[in-house]
Amino acid sequence: MIPLDENSIRSHINTTEINQPLHFHLLNTIDSTNRFLKENPSNEGITICCAETQTQGRGRFGRAWHSPFGENIYFSARWHARCELSGLSGLSLVVSLATLNTLNELGFTDNLSIKWPNDILWHEKKLSGCLIELLAPAKTQTEVVIGIGINVNSSLKASSDTNEQLINRPWCSLFDITTTLYDRNLIIGRLITHLNRYLQHLISHGFAYFLPKWQLVDGLKGRLITVSQSSGSISGIAQGIDHTGQLIIIDSHGNTHALSSGDTSIKCSI
């Protein structure tokens, strides 16, 4: 295992593209890298926290994010956006596109898709997820913590039944795809570069700029899905997303719904 290393991560970042200071917290163990960044005052610029393991890694909808030591990427970035919250519509989709772009650059191009809003799947198995937490929205500035988990060197075959139960959903890793072990420092460096570029584009052009990219990797369009929300669940055929990133579905009565959040599950293809 190659340990997390700041110099190595920095050597893989396009520093010419990033015009603000980058601060790193590379930790051996922490409860959650998102929690760490939320509760520690940030400096000017972008603050990154990665850990070798998380004891209470957090997923969406209160789920746990399994975080075995030294195997995968547990990454969080605390980022000041110089805009109001409304200027960040579609942020979680853009984060997943930036992550996917990082994987494409590493040579992963086939059979990858995104399950709205932000799960990256390989052959329908989850490779990466993201959890965005909002901090102190103000008039002209919004601060967010962007948490990304990527299954890198964990092996599905080697994982125990207990771990599978903990995750409780089909998943896989980059190692499972290629049987190659990856240097996480390289992936993190490239991820920071792409994330920064995609976020700058989101602020300057809005989400509509990303629509054509999304349409190429939309894993739900044309499929029968159920979206669970706190108010209940809706099933129907996914139609794609609109220019703000909302998911459009048509239910069995022919009614159209535009959803801005929820947990999606795929029922079958049509």
d(C-alpha 50, C-alpha 244), whole Å: 30
Angstrom distances, CA of residue 36 to CA of 39, 77, 129, 186: 5, 10, 18, 23
Give the one residue of 9, 24, 52, 65 binding ligand BTN; rule: CB under 6 A. Answer: 65
Determine the 3-state secondary structure of 200 from DSSP: helix
Question: In the 8-state DSSP scheme, what is residue 142?
Answer: E
Q: How many residues bind ligand BTN (CB under 6 A)?
A: 20
Site string for ligand BTN, 118-137 (x = CB under 6 A): -x---------xxx------
Specify which residues 46 forms β-bridges with: 22
Tokens of 211: 């629509």
Question: Among all residues, whose Cβ is closest to ligand BTN?
Answer: 129
Q: 9, 22, 32, 152: which one contacts ligand BTN (CB under 6 A)?
A: 32
59 binds ligand BTN (CB under 6 A): yes
Residue 157 structure tokens: 């075959």
Candidate ranges 12-20, 145-153, 200-208, 228-236; the one touching ligand BTN (CB under 6 A): 145-153
Nearest approach in angstroms of CB 19 to ligand BTN is 25
Find residue 268's DSSP bridge partners: 224
Bridge partners of residue 73, in order along the sequence: 150
Residues 113, 67, 247, 217, Cα dihedral to 10°: -10
Give the separation between CA 153 and CA 182, rounded to whole angstroms: 7
Shortest gap between Cβ of 101 and ligand BTN (angstroms)?
Answer: 18
Give the list of residues 6+ apart from residue 47 with CB closer than 8 angstroms, or none.
22, 23, 24, 25, 37, 40, 77, 78
> Applying CB under 6 A, which of residues 88, 92, 117, 147 lies at the interface with ligand BTN?
147
Specify the stretch interacting with ligand BTN by CB under 6 A; choose among 146-154, 165-173, 238-246, 254-262.
146-154
Residue 184 binding ligand BTN, by CB under 6 A: no
The single residue among 149, 219, 236, 262 that binds ligand BTN, judged by CB under 6 A, is: 149
CB-CB contact of 27 with 51 (8 Å) = yes
- Interface residue with ligand BTN, options 75, 175, 198, 214 (CB under 6 A): 75
Question: Which residue of 38, 47, 57, 210 would you call a contact of ligand BTN, by CB under 6 A?
Answer: 57
Q: What DSSP line would sit under 29-71, residue for residue?
A: EES-HHHHHHHS---SSEEEEEEEEESS-B-GGG-B----TTT
Q: Which of 38, 58, 66, 194 binds ligand BTN (CB under 6 A)?
A: 58
63 touches ligand BTN (CB under 6 A)? yes
34 in contact with ligand BTN (CB under 6 A): yes
Comparison of 228 and 239: residue with beta carbon closer to ligand BTN = 228
> Do 140 and 84 contact (CB within 8 A), yes or no?
yes
Q: Rule CB under 6 A: is residue 33 a binding residue for ligand BTN?
A: yes
Binding site for ligand BTN (CB under 6 A): 32-34, 54, 57-60, 63, 65, 74-76, 119, 129-131, 147-149
